[in-house]
Amino acid sequence: MYPDEKFAIGNRDEIRAFIEQHPFATLVATDAAGDFAATHIPLLIEQWDERLVLRGHLMRDTDHWRALQHSRRVFVSFLGPDAPILGSWQLTPRFGGTWNYQAVHVRGTVEGRDTTTLLAHLEQLKNRFETSPDHGFQSLPRDYIDALTPRIECIDILVADLKCIFKLSQNRRIEEFDRTLENLQNAGGKSALVAAEMRARRQAFYPQALAAG
């Protein structure tokens, strides 16, 4: 993650909102051989008093599950939309290009949970993302749930360290920021999503320039 304070986000409410908006994470653990085991899973964020906790579930008897039996320390990455930023969009030749992105990096410790917690988590997860009211968790056959739950484990990741970067061209002059925003919007796709994030923060990034204008 780019260690520049201009891009760092320290507000926990803003970080939590970002994780809730982008819950599909990369989870990395270290196995007994010292190799990395990585998987991609949805994680729901909770707050226990002052502590942030990420809750998810893993298939048992897989490389990443076995890695967690070796070491409970993990790294988690949440990534939002990203896009290349081209030198041709800027007003200075001293710009080779860069990349805009939003990301949260988490380091923490995993704790396994019991079947009751697993069932509550699966219900919360399914009901959050299921769009049909007729296909909520309560509609699943009991024999399906009973066959599934022994094969998976619910985990909580107790957050020990949290870093967040929103690199959105806020270090450029407002004229270059606006040119970049326009080009990203015109490109569509993920680039347009980055443009939307930039537009939403434009006032906060350039309060003096906008007040003077």
Predicted confidence at residue 212, as pLDDT, reads 75
Predicted confidence at residue 4, as pLDDT, reads 86
The pTM score is 0.93
In the chain, where are the structural domains located? 5-171
Share of the chain above pLDDT 70, in %: 100
Predicted confidence at residue 63, as pLDDT, reads 94
User: How far apart, in whole angstroms, are the C-alpha atoms of residue 167 and residue 184?
Assistant: 14
- Which top CATH class is 5-171? mainly beta
Predicted confidence at residue 209, as pLDDT, reads 76
User: How far apart, in whole angstroms, are the C-alpha atoms of residue 111 and residue 151?
Assistant: 17
Task: Check pLDDT > 70 for residue 10.
Answer: yes
Q: Cβ–Cβ contacts within 10 Å for residue 100, how many?
A: 23
Asked if 103 and 78 touch (Cβ cutoff 8 Å), the reply is yes
What lies within 8 Å, CB to CB, of 56 at 6+ separation is 25, 27, 41, 42, 43, 44, 121, 154, 155, 157
What lies within 8 Å, CB to CB, of 170 at 6+ separation is 6, 7, 177, 201, 205
User: How far apart, in whole angstroms, are the C-alpha atoms of residue 163 and residue 77?
Assistant: 10
Q: What is the mean pLDDT of the chain?
A: 95
Query: H or E stretch including 15?
Result: helix 12-21
pLDDT digits 0-9 by tens, 124-155? 999 999 999 999 999 999 999 999 999 999 99
Handedness of CA 16, 27, 198, 204 (dihedral sign): positive
